[in-house]
Amino acid sequence: MSANEIQKALRLVIEPKRAVSAPRFFKTGPGQYGEGDRFLGVPVPAQRSIAKTWQAEPLAELAKLVTSPIHEERLTGLFILVRQFERASRGRTANAETQRLAYEFYMKHLDAVNNWDLVDSSAPNILGGYLLTQPASARKQLLKLARSKNQWHRRIALLATSAFIRVGEFEDTLKLSDLLLSDTEDLIHKAAGWMLREVGKRDISVLRAFLNRHAHAMPRTQLRYALEKLSGAERQRYLKASRALG
């Protein structure tokens, strides 16, 4: 098996209309967040199917995919890496060494995780999943990522905490959401609001406590995402408390 075979497989399932629409959808124009990214036009289900077929691909070959200038090649490589990490995390196939290698590979190639779908498809599973198995002190690296000038690193930090939320651990999500209240990027506002909404699904009192402290200072997008599961009256109360400009 090789990265070259995967690249050939992707090119067999190209949809020309998607190749035209994807650059607009992922904001690849000058000055936009995905500036310069290139697309083949492969639908995500097809990429996932290919990732399943080649899920045993060695890391040396995955490196060729995740460093590719082609968006779908990077995403497919990350899908394979996620499958390898998750397989190494389950039952009789659990393998701490495989998990560690996948995590280290991910961190080494973090700059290739440079659009929201790449982040959202990998950070919770690999970075979040790995840190769940480590001493609490290891989570300090999330603060480092959250303070990065790279908006994708900041989003990676936030999305990684969804792994903690799923097991009822909210402290890191709240800490990062607080830290990033003044962030200037809309994609960070959306990510923080999304993670806060997930916290609220599991413990509404924790979300309300955060909102009571911070709603007045939250960016409007972040606040709206966080409020989605609250009642209409409660949403309006928090929105009125917000000083944020829409």
| Domains of the chain from N-terminus onward | 1-111 (1.20.1660), 135-246 (1.25.10.90)
Burial class of 14 by CB neighbour count within 10 A (0 to 12, 13 to 18, 19+): middle
Mean pLDDT of the chain: 95
Could you read off the pLDDT of 27-84 as tens digits, one per residue? 999 999 999 999 999 999 999 999 999 999 999 999 999 999 999 999 999 999 999 9
Q: What is the pLDDT of residue 1?
A: 59
Could you read off the pLDDT of 75-91 as tens digits, one per residue? 999 999 999 999 998 87
Q: Count CB neighbours of 191 within 10 A.
A: 30
Q: Taking the CA of residue 228 as centre, how many other CA atoms within 13 Å lie in the half-sphere pointing to its CB?
A: 13
Kindly report the pTM of this predicted structure.
0.94
Q: What is the pLDDT of residue 243?
A: 58
Q: What is the pLDDT of residue 90?
A: 83
Q: How far apart are CA 134 and CA 172, in angstroms?
A: 14
Q: Indicate whether 201 pLDDT > 70.
A: yes
Could you read off the pLDDT of 148-189 as tens digits, one per residue? 999 999 999 999 999 999 999 999 999 999 999 999 999 999
CB 82 within 8 A of CB 125: yes
The average pLDDT across 105-115 equals: 98
Given pLDDT bands bounded at 50, 70 and 90, which one contains residue 245?
Answer: very low
Q: What is the pLDDT of residue 246?
A: 44
Given pLDDT bands bounded at 50, 70 and 90, which one contains residue 242?
Answer: confident
